[in-house]
Amino acid sequence: LLCKQIAKDKDKLPIYVGEVGPVWSYPENQLDCVVADPKKGSKMYGLKSYIEYQITPNTTNRPVNHRYKHFDWLYERLLDKFGSAIPIPSLPDKQVTGRFEEEFIKMRMERLQGWMTRMCRHPVVSSSEVFQLFLSYKDEKDWKFGKRKAEKDETVGVMIFNTIEPDAPELDPLEVEKKCEQFSRFTKAMDDGVKEILTVGNEHWKRCTGPLPKEYQRIGKALQNLSTVFTSSGYQGEATLTDALTSAGKTYEEIAQLVEEQPKKDLHFLMETNNEYKGLLGCFPDTIAVHKAAIEKVKEGDKLVATNKITPQDKGTMAKRLSTMSYSLQAEMNHFHSNRIYDYNRVMQLYLEEQVKFYETIAAKLREAHSQFTTM
């Protein structure tokens, strides 16, 4: 398992040791793309219809079209090729009823955009031939040819480790094990943390779109109703009060609407980001399992040499490979951390910004309602 050797020079994946530890080689200009403009297409004289998305990379600035199933094809290729070393997050859910509904298409596009952005940001994934093909094939022929080639790619599974070349001294297996344990603990803990946020967020979403606005609406109606009763008193000179009461009631109805619409403006992105991370973190156990299996193999090394199952030289190669795997995992973790810091910073800022606006809008509306009552 640890001992095959292939890899052309251009496919080499270097790892450098930077300030934070082992890191992948990052391109100077980060790849990015825009997923937009979903269009209904059809095949076989309209018998089969589908949605096609337009993807425009910042490199060529030339849009290419892809259906969901092409994304899925790309996902399978990336998983085959890099899955042992790099967590490749799943695509948004495959198929649900009503997949031509506008709301669904919008949501799927948003999530495909999120997935593509994450893949573009990954230096290894984004520079791979298959990913480049997906983003910038020239024509149908180019695409078909590239597809066939990618499907025949033999550097899949653990083979990927053969292409990785750390520019650093070999690591001690004990050090490797320690690092691996640490990553395992961290990803598990973060998985729990993310799931907790998702649970709490879901409950909050339900409350904000369910009972809470209904309650504000009832408060609003009750005030307006009291105003109507007061108007019927026949007593002179209470128009100021009844107008103010009506307006306060309407304000609470407006607040009901604000409350109901707010989650779409802030909680939505917090949930989407955490959902993405839940997906990413779900890939780590497999990656870490591959790693742990290799550690065990190397630990068995002495026994294998003693029973003449491998040569001492083989054992040395195995330890070197394990070191490479560890550099790869460390580079990946560092990639993950730097993205995590960026993503959570951004999403928390967005969330809090919108929350501030929300509470300020309500305060302003209530201040306006307050000003309509008479000071006596």
CB closer to a copy of itself out of 163 and 224: 224
The verdict on 219 binding a copy of itself (CB under 8 A) reads: yes
Stretch touching a copy of itself by CB under 8 A, among 23-31, 33-41, 86-94, 339-347: 339-347
Cα 30 to Cα 121: distance, rounded to the nearest angstrom = 7
Instruction: Tell the smallest beta-carbon distance from residue 184 to a copy of itself (Å).
Output: 12
Instruction: Tell the smallest beta-carbon distance from residue 16 to a copy of itself (Å).
Output: 16
Cα 302 to Cα 310: distance, rounded to the nearest angstrom = 9
Residue listed under structure tokens 């490749």: 88
Instruction: Give the x/- contact pattern for a copy of itself in 14-43, rule: CB under 8 A.
Output: -----xx-----------------------
DSSP bridge pairs for 23: 16
Q: For the beta carbon of residue 59, count every other beta carbon within 10 angstroms.
A: 15
Rg (CA), the chain: 29
The verdict on 244 binding a copy of itself (CB under 8 A) reads: yes
Judging by beta carbons within 10 Å of its beta carbon (0-12, 13-18, 19+), is residue 168 exposed, middle or buried?
middle
CB closer to a copy of itself out of 319 and 331: 331
Stretch touching a copy of itself by CB under 8 A, among 54-62, 132-140, 244-252, 295-303: 244-252
In Å, what is the CA distance from 173 to each residue of 176, 292, 295, 311? 5, 11, 7, 18
- Pick one of 171, 180, 223, 318: the residue that binds a copy of itself (CB under 8 A): 223
Instruction: Tell the smallest beta-carbon distance from residue 24 to a copy of itself (Å).
Output: 15
CB closer to a copy of itself out of 12 and 367: 367
Q: How is residue 94 written in tokens?
A: 């495959």
- Pick one of 51, 105, 168, 212: the residue that binds a copy of itself (CB under 8 A): 212
Cα 367 to Cα 376: distance, rounded to the nearest angstrom = 18
Cα 324 to Cα 10: distance, rounded to the nearest angstrom = 18
DSSP bridge pairs for 35: 55
> What is the spatial order of strands in the sheet that 64-67 belongs to?
33-43, 48-57, 64-67
The verdict on 178 binding a copy of itself (CB under 8 A) reads: no
CB closer to a copy of itself out of 1 and 20: 20
Stretch touching a copy of itself by CB under 8 A, among 45-53, 135-143, 297-305, 330-338: 330-338
The verdict on 356 binding a copy of itself (CB under 8 A) reads: yes
Q: For the beta carbon of residue 171, count every other beta carbon within 10 angstroms.
A: 20
Instruction: Give the x/- contact pattern for a copy of itself in 246-285, rule: CB under 8 A.
Output: --x-------------------------------------
Contact status, residue 114 vs residue 75, Cβ threshold 8 Å: no
- Pick one of 93, 151, 167, 203: the residue that binds a copy of itself (CB under 8 A): 203
Stretch touching a copy of itself by CB under 8 A, among 35-43, 50-58, 197-205, 305-313: 197-205
CB closer to a copy of itself out of 158 and 208: 208
Contact status, residue 63 vs residue 55, Cβ threshold 8 Å: yes
Q: Find the largest Cα–Cα distance for the chain.
A: 108
Task: For 23-39, give one letter per residue: b (16+ CB within 10 A) or e.
Answer: bbebeeeebebebeebe
Question: Directed axis angle between helix 140-151 and helix 129-136, to 10°?
Answer: 160
The verdict on 353 binding a copy of itself (CB under 8 A) reads: yes
Contact status, residue 335 vs residue 124, Cβ threshold 8 Å: no
Instruction: Tell the smallest beta-carbon distance from residue 21 to a copy of itself (Å).
Output: 9
CB closer to a copy of itself out of 106 and 370: 370
The verdict on 44 binding a copy of itself (CB under 8 A) reads: no
Q: What are phi and psi of 17, to 5 degrees?
A: -105, 110
Which parts of this chain interact with a copy of itself (CB under 8 A)?
Answer: 19-20, 182, 185-186, 189-190, 192-194, 196-197, 200-201, 203-204, 207, 211-212, 215, 218-219, 222-223, 225-226, 228-230, 232-238, 241, 244-245, 248, 333-334, 337-338, 340-342, 344-346, 348-349, 352-353, 355-356, 359-360, 362-363, 366-367, 369-370, 373-376
